[in-house]
Structure 1
Amino acid sequence: MRVEKAKTTPTWAKKALDLRPEGIMFPMIENSKMARKAVSYCKFPSNRIHGFAHTFVRASDYGTDNGYLSNYEEDLLIMCQVESEEALKKIEDIAAVDGVDCVQMGSLDLSASMGYLWDPGNKKVKEIIKTVEKGVLKTTTKGGGGGGGAFLSGFAMPHDRPKDMRSRGYHHMISGSVDIGLFRSACVKDVKKFKMKLVESDDEDGLEDSKDEKYLSE
């Protein structure tokens, strides 16, 4: 599933939506007002403020997709990322906003905002996250998701496996990594392999040199 991340501004949202992603994630949503604005950026003028020049963008296959207008809003997953202490206090209000399909837990930023930089597995952070999860699930039970109640989404980590997350209510979406992370890991692996080859090559050269020296000394 392709999800674009956009700043919570209409300009950035339009740029992301013109690519026709299956989902769009708005970071640092801290209250219901911000969540409603985020949703409005994804709606056409009759509903909200998303631009209507759909015939000139890739999202509609440059105007050749006749079903684009009918299916666009229904097919789009709107995600609000909560990653600050301020958002925690308003979590039920955020999740209950009409049009918010999913609340994405930003555990790394959330732990940093609580004073535990790069320590999302901290006991206090985990306790807070569980409280937030319950707040989101309350609205899911009431509204059913996507129109008065959002579902939970998050990243699996070494200290928080997919199995554990599912047991806490992550039934729709659990992410394992992001494209940049996968690319970085592949590059690091390739560089390490390259360095190992250099070391092996140096060792082989050293052996050959020692053989030559022995031959000359004889």
Structure 2
Amino acid sequence: SASASASAAPPAVDALSSPTATLKSRLAAGETLYGLFLLSANPTLAEIAGLAGYDYVVVDMEHGPGGISDALPCLRALAATGTPAVLRLPESSAVWAKKALDLGPQGVMFPMVDDAASAAAAVSYCRFPPRGVRGSAHTVVRASGYGVDDGYLEHYEEGLLVMCQVETEKAVGEVEAIAAVDGVDCIQMGPLDLSAALGYLWDPGHRKVREVIAEVERRVLSNGGAYLSGFAMPHDSPEELKKRGYHMVAGAVDLGMFRKAAVEDVLRFRNAPGSGDAAGGGDEGEEGEDKEKGYWSE
């Protein structure tokens, strides 16, 4: 009856950040996903990234200037475009994981995971007691639709992608144990921090760094457990990562893309016919080219 319909409870809904197919379900179906890192904490750029068609966007709270309050508008902008969000935490801690998970991202990325114990701790931060230590306010947080999704506790783990970053020498030696931890879905390579740990801070494309990364790739992919995710670099393109078997590939960083476009725009103007040597001349074109041989921020 009309009165019964009016008094019925609202239907359960999924978290406010995802289309029907989740990152986990698409990975399980064999897709290779292409994403972007958002360091700016800017919801307009997040919305543009979603509209552009990226499969996922990592809202970065580790190296970007934004925190939880800045991440929320970005998640809302991505949700408006049906684009899954992954939140990268500033540190691998229960407090940061709790605050991030309450916003309802499809994935969380834990930095500097060095061994199986650290990975198991990260997973525990994502699970409610008795299986973990996540604090609960599930009736009022965004992840559950502010309590509208009354099935949240039953299904949230199914759609949550837990990513652990391998970016130290110790982690390289422990990568198989990290990947084998129950609840770890994805190993995320951290090429810049790893190059620094190996003694090549200014040379992430060094042969030694590439050999170590290749060994990690082999060990993760041969075990067939956790997925493999990575950053493209100027010396290692997104297409190359895909060919080598990466399941998730981040092709760029929003700030790096804007910097590149801005520098090219200025150089184009200054080097136009009739600009004159006083405005910069031909040397800046070479300088801009050299800068492109640098590397993007993790």
Q: Same fold (TM over 0.5)?
A: yes
Matched, 1:105 2:174: no
How many angstroms apart in 1 are the aligned matches of 2:175 and 2:147? Answer: 39
SS of 1:25's equivalent in the other structure is strand
Gaps of 5+ in 1: 141-148, 204-218
Count of aligned residue pairs for this structure pair? 191
Given that 1:133 and 1:152 are in contact with CA atoms closer than 8 Å, whether structure 2 keeps it comes out as: yes
How many angstroms apart in 1 are the aligned matches of 2:167 and 2:245? Answer: 18
In the TM superposition, residue 195 of structure 1 has moved relative to its aligned partner by: 9.2
> What is the RMSD of the two structures over their aligned residues, measured on CA atoms?
2.5
Q: Which residue of 2 aligns with 1:145?
A: none
19-28 or 49-58: which moved more? 49-58
Matched, 1:90 2:174: yes
Matched, 1:52 2:128: no
In the TM superposition, residue 57 of structure 1 has moved relative to its aligned partner by: 1.1
Q: Which residue of 1 aligns with 2:229?
A: 153
Given that 1:92 and 1:138 are in contact with CA atoms closer than 8 Å, whether structure 2 keeps it comes out as: no
**For 1:175, which of 250, 260, 284 is the aligned residue?**
250
How many angstroms apart in 1 are the aligned matches of 2:166 and 2:199? Answer: 16
SS of 1:56's equivalent in the other structure is coil
How many angstroms apart in 1 are the aligned matches of 2:209 and 2:181? Answer: 25
1:166-192 CA distance string (max 9 Å, x none):
22221x210112344445556767888
Percent of matched pairs sharing the same residue: 58
How many angstroms apart in 2 are the aligned matches of 1:179 and 1:43? Answer: 31
Higher helix share: 1
Structure 1's 125 and 3: CA in aligned 2 closer, same or farther, altered over 3 A?
Answer: same
Structure 1's 87 and 166: CA in aligned 2 closer, same or farther, altered over 3 A?
Answer: same
Q: Which residue of 2 aligns with 1:3?
A: 86
Given that 1:39 and 1:99 are in contact with CA atoms closer than 8 Å, whether structure 2 keeps it comes out as: yes
How many angstroms apart in 2 are the aligned matches of 1:77 and 1:4? Answer: 10
Matched, 1:20 2:96: no
Given that 1:30 and 1:84 are in contact with CA atoms closer than 8 Å, whether structure 2 keeps it comes out as: yes
Matched, 1:72 2:156: yes
How many angstroms apart in 2 are the aligned matches of 1:154 and 1:89? Answer: 18
In the TM superposition, residue 121 of structure 1 has moved relative to its aligned partner by: 1.0
How many angstroms apart in 2 are the aligned matches of 1:186 and 1:63? Answer: 43
> Quick one: higher RCO (CA 8 Å, sep 6+), 1 or 2?
2
Which one-letter code corresponds to 1:176 in the other structure? G
Larger radius of gyration: 1
64-73 or 26-35: which moved more? 64-73
Written as runs of structure 1 = structure 2, the 5 A alignment for 1:186-205 is: none
SS of 1:3's equivalent in the other structure is strand
TM-score, length-normalised on structure 1? 0.78
Structure 1's 192 and 81: CA in aligned 2 closer, same or farther, altered over 3 A?
Answer: same
Which one-letter code corresponds to 2:209 in the other structure? V
SS of 1:46's equivalent in the other structure is coil
